[in-house]
Chain A
Amino acid sequence: MAWPLAVAALLAIGAVVWVARPFLGEPETVSDRLDEPGEAERRRLELVGDRDRALAALKELEFDHRTGKVSDGDYRAQVGPLRRRAAEALRALEPRAEAARGRISEAPQPQ
C-alpha cells in the first residue's frame, strides 16, 4: 500500500516543480509583463487582414471567371474595386513595413 502513495508523492513533487519552473528558471531582471499588441500592432493586423481578404477575393474572382461562374461583364464590374481595395491596404501597410525594416537595419549587427 505504501508504494502507490510514494509514487503519487513523487509525481506531486515533480508537478509542483514543473508548475513553479517559470518562477525558478528566469532571472528577476526579465520583464514579467505579458505581451499585448499595442494600438499600432492591432491596426497592422487589421490592415494585413484587409489585404489578404482583397487578394484572396481577386484570386477567387479570377478562378471563378476562368471556370465560367463569373461572366465577362460581372468580372469587369468587380475586378476594379477589388484591385483598388488591395492596393489601398498595401499602400497603408507600406510605411509600417518601411519602419520595421528601418528598425532592423538600425539594430546592432552580430560581429
Chain B
Amino acid sequence: MAALGRAALLLAFGLVAYALVAGSYAAWKRRRRLALSAQNALLAAFPATLLASVVLWIALARRDLTFQYVAQHTSHSLPLGYALSAFWGGQEGSLLLWLLILTGYAALAVWLNRRSRELVAWAVPVLGLVATFFAFMLAFVSSPFVTAPAPADGAGMVPSLQNPYMLAHPPMLYLGYVGLTVPYAFAMGALLSRRTDERWIVITRRWTLAAWTFLGIGQLLGAHWAYVEIGWGGYYAWDPVENAALMPWLAVTAFLHSVMIQEKRGMLKVWNMVLVALAFGLSLFGTFLTRSGVVNSVHSFSKSPIGGWFLGFIAVMVVFSVALIYLRLPLLKAKTKLESLVSREATFLYNNLLLVALCLTILWGVVYPILSQAVRGETRSVSKPYYDFFLHTFGLPLLLLMGLGPLVAWRRASLRALGKTFIVPAVAALVTGVALLALGFGSSVPGLLAYTFSAFVAAAIVLEFVRGTQARRAVAGEGWWRAFAMLVARNRRRYGGYIVHAAIVMLAIGIAGSSAYQTVREQALRPGQSMEVAGYTLTYRGLTQTQEANAQAVRATVDVTRGGSHVTTLHPGKNDYPVEQQTSNEVSIYHDPRNLGDLFTIADQVPSKPGGPFYLKVLVKPLVNLIWLAGFIFVGGSVIAMWPDAVEQRRLAAQYEPGAIVA
C-alpha cells in the first residue's frame, strides 16, 4: 500500500513538473498543442494525488502502524473519526492535503476557463510551479508513506485535536489558503501574457470570494474549537498561527473592495496585483508557520525540517511576483483619477489602507520574535496589548467606514447629500452611545465605541435595503417583497456584501461584549460551598470519575441558580489520556438565551484526595454567541455575493469571445 502511495506521489510530481516546464515553454513559444498537453498534465495530477490521499486514509482507518505517519498520529484506541482526521493532524498529511486541494482547484479552474486560452496558457505553469514545490516536498523531503516495523501501539493524537471541530477547521482553512493560489496564478498569468484588462479579475472573482469565505469560516471554527476545547476561556489568543490565517483574510478583504474600483473606474491596477500577491504569499507563510514549528503556538503539534525549504520557496515567489509587477508597470497605468476624497472609491481606499496597515502590524508582531531569536538569539514575544492596541487603532475606524462607505456616492458626494443620507444612522449611533453610557457601559471606551459604531453601521445597512427597495418600487411598480427580492437578485454582489457587513457588525458586538464586559472569578470550593458571579450562584456538589474509550474523565457537579431558581447543572473537569500521557481541561458551558452570553466554567485544579478543594474558574461572557451566529450570516451573504448571474455571464461571454459582435 505504501508503495502505491509513493508511486502516486511520484506520478503527481512528474505531471505538475511537466505542467510547469512544458507549460512555460508552450506559452512562451505560442505552441497550442504543447499548452494543451501541459493543461492535461495539470488535470491528471488531481487523480494521482487523490489516489495517494486515499491510500493514506485507508492506512489511517486500518491503523496500519507500519506507516510511520499513522504510528505517530493515531493509536488503536483512537475513535475512527479522529483517526481519519489525523490526515491533517501532522505535517506530511497537511502537505498532502495542500497538494490535493491545489490540484483539485487547478484542474477545475483550468477546465472551466479553457476557452480563455492565452490567460490559461500562462496560469498553468504558475499553478504548476506551486504544485511542483508541494509535490517535491511530499515525494522527496517529507513523505507520509515512510514505513517501519509496526510498534505495539501508536503514539496517539494530541488530546486537544480530539474534538469534532478538528474534522472541519483545518480543511476549511486549507480550502481558503490554497484557494488563493488560483487568483494569484491568473493574476500572474495576466501579467505574463500582457492581458492586464479585467479578464483575470472576472475569471477569479468567485474563486477569491470562495477562498475568502473558507478562510473566514475556518477561522470561526478554529475560534470555537479554542473556546470549547483549549479551556482557557477565550476564543482568540493572537497566537502566531491564528494570526497566520487572519493576515491573508485581511489582505483579501482589502482586495475584494479595491478590485471594485478597478472594475468600475479602471484604477488601482498595480495595487490589486500587489494585494493578490500579498495574500498568496501570506497563505504560504501561514502554512510555513503552522507546519515548521518555528514558533511556539497552541498549533505547534510537530517540529520539522521543512522550514528552510518553505522559506526558500516563499522568497522565490516574492521575488518572482515583485519583479513581474515591476516589469509590467507600463501596462498597469490607471485610466482615471480619484475625483474627490469624499466618494465611494475614496472610502474603499481608506478601508484598504486600514486593512493593510492592520495586516502588516500583525505580520510584524508574528515575525519580530522569530527575527529576534534568529538575529540576536533573544527570546522575545509580542503579546495581547500590542495586538489589542492596533486592533482598536485600525479596527474601530474600519468598523465605522463599513457604515460610511455604502452611504457615499461614487465619484463625488456633496455635503448636502451626505447630511441627508447620514442623518438616520448618526441619530441611531448617538442614541445608542448615550443610552449605553447612561447604563454604565463607559467602563470600556473601545467597547462603547464598538457598540456605537455598530449601531451606525447596522442603521446604514437597513437604510440601504429600505431605500433600494423604495427606488425599485418607484421604477418597476412592484410590491414590497418582490421589489426587495428583485433588488437583491439583480445586485447580488452589493447586497450580499451588505449581509456580510451585517455579520461583521454582529461579530464586533459579540467580541466587544464578551471581552470588554466579561466577568471573571476564581475560587477554591469544597463540596456544598458556593460562589457568586454576575448574578449567578454556583454550588459545588462533588466529583465523579468515568473511564472513556481513550481517556479517564473526572467531572465536577456544579449547580447553577439565579434569583433562587435552578438554571442548570454544569460538569467542568479534566481528561487524562494515558497513551498520549497528557491531561486536558474539559470546560462546561451554559448558553444564556437572555443575553446571548455564556456562563463558562473551568476546572482549574481537581483535588487529588476526596473532600479536597476544587478550584473553579468562572467567566460570564455577554453576547459571545453573536460571534458564532455571525458565521451563518457571513456564509449566507457570501453565497449570495458569489451566486452566478446569468445576465452578467451573457455580457461577459459576448465581451470576451474573439470577434464577438458588440453593439
Q: Spell out A's residues near B (CB within 8 Å).
A: 1, 4-5, 7-8, 11-12, 15, 18-23, 26, 31-37, 41, 44-46, 48-53, 56-57, 60-61, 63-64, 66-71, 73-74, 78, 90, 93-94, 96-97, 100-101, 103-104
A-B pair count, CB < 8 Å, reads 156
Q: Spell out B's residues near A (CB within 8 Å).
A: 1, 3-4, 7-8, 11, 15, 18, 26-27, 30-37, 40-41, 43-44, 47-48, 51, 117-118, 121, 195, 197-199, 263-266, 335, 407-414, 416-417, 420-421, 464, 467-468, 470-471, 474-475, 651, 655-656, 658-663
Residues in A whose Cβ lies below 8 Å from that of B658: 35, 37, 41
Contact B41 A78 (CB under 8 A): no
Q: What distance in Å separates the Cβ of B526 from its nearest Cβ neighbour in chain A?
A: 62
Contact A68 B32 (CB under 8 A): no
Residues in B whose Cβ lies below 8 Å from that of A63: 468, 471
A70-B417, A74-B412, A100-B660 as given contacts; A22 in contact with B40, CB under 8 Å: yes
A68-B417, A73-B414, A93-B663 as given contacts; A45 in contact with B197, CB under 8 Å: yes
Contact B198 A49 (CB under 8 A): yes
Q: Which residue of A lies closest to B660 (CB)?
A: A100
Q: State in angstroms the CA–CA spacing of A46 and B656 once bound together.
A: 11
Contact A97 B663 (CB under 8 A): yes
Q: Which residue of A lies closest to B411 (CB)?
A: A78
Give the most central of B7, B43, B411: most A CB within 10 Å. B411
Q: What distance in Å separates the Cβ of B16 from its nearest Cβ neighbour in chain A?
A: 11
Residues in B whose Cβ lies below 8 Å from that of A73: 414
Q: What distance in Å separates the Cβ of A62 from its nearest Cβ neighbour in chain B?
A: 9
Contact A67 B468 (CB under 8 A): yes
Q: Which residue of B lies closest to A40 (CB)?
A: B659
Contact B7 A36 (CB under 8 A): no
Residues in A whose Cβ lies below 8 Å from that of B26: 34
Partner of A94, one of B1, B409, B413, B663: B663
A37-B118, A68-B420, A100-B660 as given contacts; A57 in contact with B264, CB under 8 Å: yes
Partner of B661, one of A19, A31, A101: A101
A19-B15, A45-B197, A68-B420 as given contacts; A34 in contact with B409, CB under 8 Å: no
Contact A74 B121 (CB under 8 A): no
A7-B4, A49-B266, A53-B266 as given contacts; A36 in contact with B40, CB under 8 Å: no
Contact A44 B662 (CB under 8 A): yes
Residues in B whose Cβ lies below 8 Å from that of A4: 1, 3-4, 7
Q: What distance in Å separates the Cβ of A49 from its nearest Cβ neighbour in chain B?
A: 6
Contact A45 B656 (CB under 8 A): yes
Residues in A whose Cβ lies below 8 Å from that of B8: 8, 11
Residues in B whose Cβ lies below 8 Å from that of A8: 3-4, 7-8, 11
Residue contacts A-B, CB under 8 angstroms, 12 given: A4-B3, A11-B51, A15-B44, A18-B43, A21-B40, A26-B33, A33-B30, A52-B655, A57-B264, A70-B417, A97-B662, A100-B661
Q: State in angstroms the CA–CA spacing of A36 and B121 once bound together.
A: 11
Q: What distance in Å separates the Cβ of B266 from its nearest Cβ neighbour in chain A?
A: 6
A15-B15, A19-B37, A34-B31 as given contacts; A67 in contact with B471, CB under 8 Å: yes
Contact B417 A74 (CB under 8 A): yes
Contact B416 A71 (CB under 8 A): yes
Contact B409 A74 (CB under 8 A): yes
Residues in B whose Cβ lies below 8 Å from that of A18: 40, 43-44
What are the 4 A-B residue pairs with the smallest beta carbon separation, nearest first? A8-B7, A4-B4, A22-B36, A66-B471
Residues in A whose Cβ lies below 8 Å from that of B468: 63, 67
